[in-house]
Chains A and B, each alone.
Chain A
Amino acid sequence: MERFVQVLIDGLATGSLYGALALAVVLIYRSTGIVNFAQGEMAMFSTFIAWGLLQAGLPLLVALLGTLALSFVAGMVIERVIIRPVEGGEVLTLVIVTLGLFILVNSAAGWIYGFNTRSFPSLFGDERLDIAGVAIPVESLGIVAVLIAVVGILFVVFQRTKVGLAMRAVAMNPESSRLVGVSVGRTLMIGWGVAALVGALAGALIAARLFLDVNFMGGVLIYSFAAATLGGFDSPLGAVLGGWIIGIAEGLAGTYVGFIGSDLKILVPLIAILVVLLVRPTGMFGSAEVARA
């Protein structure tokens, strides 16, 4: 029983990380219809920036906040410079452009930071809480709390602010948005900025659990795509719930299904993607348009 609860909590924390990156992917998809394959690499690069700021002697929290701000700006620049020229183009064009961005960011990170594996400190330390006889890492609880806070903030921004309303309007009807005076370009830039910021947060949290090198987000991206597919590609809430389900399923399968162990865990997201696409292509909360697209 104790082991089961540990696996559950651990899966929830891992799933929160998948969910955070999936959230970034979904934010861009629902406003632009673009699946950003480079989301993980952008997060990786952001994490290296945080690492660089740490090396320069900044305290962790300051380094993280600085990184989030830089990532927000970088996300906007990427939209303006790389994505804007192809926006509204063919699906294949967009896929190739974001794959190109993937390679570009990955190579740039390798060129600047090298290919060594580095460790990255955790915001939450490595203490454990004893709750009813079960030892639970503070970090796991912290990660889940951070994700819930991010979702809460995004919800308030989208539902209660003018910028958020404009972002939703642009996602639904760009032409009509322009006619009421919303600058679609600027709004999409902000959307990419927010996604890059959320991704950066995910990157830093993930690096603290794993390690930091130029390829550490590659595997995570697959889990995040599984989470987004499961939740519905245009639903932020779905991305988070999908992340939790994938994370917990992965933990349970790795622990209790003998032949999966830790080597075949990657099967979990792949099977999830396959099953969802076969059975319910819109995912749990996706809207039907997604299926047609």
Chain B
Amino acid sequence: MSLLEVEDLEAGYGPVTVLRGISFEVDGGKIVTVLGPNGAGKTTTLRALSGMVRRSGTIRFDGEEISGYSPERVARQAIAHVPEGRGTFTGLSVEENLKVGAYVRRERDGIGDDIKRCFGYFPRLEERRGQLAGSLSGGEQQMLAIGRALMLKPRLMLLDEPSQGLAPNLTRELFAILERIARDEGVTLLIVEQNANLVLRFADYAYVLEAGAIVLDGDAEKIQSDEGIRRSYLGV
């Protein structure tokens, strides 16, 4: 049984349907990516999983049907969503941003240790721990968003275009850290990206989304090496 099983997921905003019945699976411990051009429905897919948009179909997380859950209840299932635009609490300090990330956890102790662990992955955040998060650069805010997600002690992390607006070398650095997080913490990653080249290099499995439907899926390695697929679907 996969950690996340999605069947026939439809989702949209108001009268507009964006996702037209997609099905996919994410195995525990893996890094899975959903690729596709702008407007394909990548962000909507993640927002549907988190309960931020109108949706129908089945979403099973660790066997539990969660498709009717509110976003805050989804978060309590240890699913952390790093949203598009990073979701920074601009008026809170860096450290407070991390603390908010631990909101659903009942135990108090351990939070300090986890903040230290976040700083281990992102030393630059430690240098800025007392600073208002709104004053951070785009890359630092992306690190903070991932750190905040980590504070939830997630089993599954949903990442919405982590490379957006970042310089290429910073993006590579970020993905390397994500890979470490996945390995060290045993967190499963579901990443939606436009930057196919980069994410395919370290993902295990990939789905390609086009106009609200999945048109292709396969091992990341295979997709990466298939010139035809890359040219016709990924534009790279």
Contact = CB atoms under 8 A, between A and B. Distances in A.
Contact of B50 (A166, A173, A179, A184): A179
B52 A180 contact: no
B50 to A, nearest CB: 6
Nearest to B87: A176
A105 B98 CA distance: 41
Contacts of B70: 178
B75 A173 contact: no
Contacts of B170: none
A166 B83 contact: no
B83 A179 contact: yes
B135 interface: no
A173 B152 contact: no
Interface in B27-82: 50, 52, 70-72, 75-76, 80-81
Given A179-B81, A180-B148, A181-B104, A172 B75 contact: no
A158 B152 CA distance: 21
Nearest to B75: A181
A184 B51 CA distance: 14
A180 B103 contact: yes
- The bracket for how many chain A residues form the interface is 10 to 19
Contact of A181 (B87, B88, B152): B152
B81 A172 contact: no
Nearest to A183: B72
B71 A176 contact: no
Interface in A170-209: 172-173, 175-184
A169 B75 contact: no
Contacts of A180: 75, 80, 100-101, 103-104, 148, 152
A265 interface: no
Interface stretch (B6-14, B15-23, B89-97, B212-220): B89-97
B128 interface: no
Contacts of A166: 100, 103
B129 interface: no
Contacts of A177: 100
Contact of B52 (A168, A169, A178, A287): A178
A210 interface: no
Given A173-B87, A179-B71, A182-B103, 17 more contacts: A165-B103, A166-B100, A169-B89, A169-B100, A172-B90, A172-B92, A173-B89, A173-B90, A175-B52, A175-B83, A178-B72, A179-B50, A179-B52, A179-B80, A179-B87, A180-B152, A184-B72
Interface of A: 162, 165-166, 168-169, 172-173, 175-184, 287
Interface of B: 50, 52, 70-72, 75-76, 80-81, 83, 87-92, 96, 99-101, 103-104, 148, 152
